[in-house]
Amino acid sequence: MESLQKAIAAISPLSDEGMSAFSQGWKHWSTTKDFVLLKENTISDYIYFIEKGVARIYYYKNGREITEWIALDGQFFLSITSFFQRTPSYLTIQTIEPSHVYGIHHDDLMKLAGEHHEIERLLRKMVTASLILSQERMDSIQFESAQQRYEKLLKTSPQIVQRVPLTYIASFLGITLETLSRIRSQR
Amino acid sequence: MESLQKAIAAISPLSDEGMSAFSQGWKHWSTTKDFVLLKENTISDYIYFIEKGVARIYYYKNGREITEWIALDGQFFLSITSFFQRTPSYLTIQTIEPSHVYGIHHDDLMKLAGEHHEIERLLRKMVTASLILSQERMDSIQFESAQQRYEKLLKTSPQIVQRVPLTYIASFLGITLETLSRIRSQR
DNA sequence: GATAAAATTTGATATTTATCAATTGCAGAC
DNA sequence: GTCTGCAATTGATAAATATCAAATTTTATC
């Protein structure tokens, strides 16, 4: 809980009252390896925060798994489209290590955002940060070579490379497993 | 002004008071063809709304122009990174037809969002919609062929194809002018 | 520790799109 | 109307990465 509160405060500081109201909204899960938090085709009700562990978000495209996101200790994650549009998710979310995960339900969060201006602001800032990331990632996929993307990942999240199977990393980088393997071998 | 208010209300309805406070924050420009709204390397101060006309957002990558976004009548647009992070923009924004454009200054918007909970909520919804779009676009660039992306554009914004030079459309779709030309000829 | 299963690597070839170069088409200025 | 310059098309070739098919290495299980 403390790490969650710290992560929240780092995005947008809350008053004691706001923080305490907000903190009460979160549930907690202790998961095993390959525990499914969200199943494909269901509406995603939660924004998650991973206190310790690794989660991956993936979907199927042309019959194969595409990892859309990998979240490590201290990060928020969610199925953006499903959560905000309240539509069935094409995404599946699972923890790929035993993990500690917090989650806040959509309805609770919206209620809190309606009641507390500062929580609305926090949410706005979270979405904005996510948008900036999304833009950067798009630029990366469009203009950087497979090699450059891998090296950037090595630099920015070396932990991912250590803790996550290469199959997942490959599709996360938007390349095939074989291409990733070749990139790694020539170093 | 009326079309702007309608566009705002469609995202998140405001009280009369909120709408009137918000409306006062917007400036108006009547621009000529190729009028520059934002210059590269300056901090982007405005969120824009194009009432009538066409704007394009572009930047330079490896010595050539990349069109990042094209906004037509009734759309909002901005340099996301620069506006929210208050850093110099690598983007340039210009109207490519004589246009009517509204803009609200960053500081005014933030002040309003701080004073009016409902404007904060509106802003959050705008950013969320933008995030969802960004995700869809990323998926499109990563998995759809040049052909599919062009056909989708034809379907979703046929106006763009009519009013915007192909050079701009090509980089907007993430392909070269030559590839776009070949796609068009085989139909 | 032996064995099965899964993950990763390696190789040969195919596909998509980019690049560079030349040509053609077309709109505005005079 | 003709000239000039930019926009678009067409052609030939190259580059990056995907695909399919094995082979090899690593990991987990009994």
pLDDT of residue A62: 80
Q: Is A86 helix (H, G, I), strand (E, B) or coil?
A: coil
The side-by-side arrangement of strands in the sheet containing B54-61 is B35-38, B92-95, B54-61, B64-72
And the tokens for A43? 């509406």
d(CA A175, CA A169): 9
Residues counted in chain B: 187
154-183 of chain B touching strand D, CB 7 A cut-off: 165-167, 177-178, 180-182
CA distance linking residue A119 with residue A18, whole number of Å: 7
Chain A interface mutation, best of B142, B143, B144, B149, highest count of A Cβ atoms under 10 Å: B142
Rounded average pLDDT over B69-90: 94
Whether chain A has a CB inside 8 Å of the CB on B120: the answer is yes
Q: Is the pLDDT of residue B187 over 80?
A: no
* Contact assignment for A128 to B84 by CB distance below 8 Å: yes
Q: In what order do the strands lie in the sheet with B46-52?
A: B26-31, B99-105, B46-52, B75-77
A131: contact with B, CB 8 A cutoff: yes
**3-class SS of residue A11:** helix
Distance A37 CA to D23 C1' (A): 37
* Cβ separation B134–A135 shorter than 8 A: yes
- The structure's pTM equals 0.93
Separation in Å: D19 C1' and A181 CA: 15
Read off the pLDDT of residues A73-99 as tens digits, 9 standing for 90 and up: 999 999 999 999 999 998 999 999 999
The answer to whether A80 contacts chain B (CB < 8 Å) is yes
Beta strand B64-72 with B35-38 is: unpaired
Cβ(A170)–Cβ(A176) under 8 Å? yes
- The pLDDT of residue A156 is above 80: yes
Q: Does A130 touch chain B (CB under 8 A)?
A: yes
Which member of A127, A136, A138 has the closest CB to residue B141? A138
Residue A165 (CA) to nucleotide C3 (C1'), in angstroms, measures 23
Segment B124-140, tens digit of pLDDT: 999 999 999 999 999 99
Q: Which two tokens stand for residue B180?
A: 């776009």
CATH number (2.60.120.10, 3.30.565.10, 3.40.50.150, 3.30.1240.10) of A2-142 reads 2.60.120.10
Helix A146-156 vs helix A117-143: angle between axes, to the nearest 10 degrees?
140
- Nearest CA to CA, how far is B24 from chain A (Å)? 22
Domain chopping of chain A, boundaries: 2-142, 144-187
Average pLDDT, chain A: 95
Cα separations (Å) of B170 from B31, B68, B97, B174, B180? 25, 10, 18, 6, 6
Strand D lies under 7 A from the Cβ of residue A146? yes
Answer whether A85 touches B (CB < 8 Å): yes
Return the closest-CA partner of residue A180 out of A166, A161, A162.
Answer: A166
Residue B93 has pLDDT above 70, yes or no: yes
Q: B2-136 falls under which CATH superfamily?
A: Jelly Rolls (2.60.120.10)
Q: Between A146-156 and A177-185, two packed helices, what is the crossing angle to 10 degrees? A: 70
Say whether pLDDT at B37 is over 70: yes
**Cβ separation of A85 and B132 shorter than 8 Å?**
yes
CB-contacted nucleotides of strand D (7 Å)? 7-12, 16-21
Phi, psi at residue A67, to the nearest 5°?
-85, 120
DSSP string, A157-179: -HHHHHHS-HHHHHHHHTS-HHH
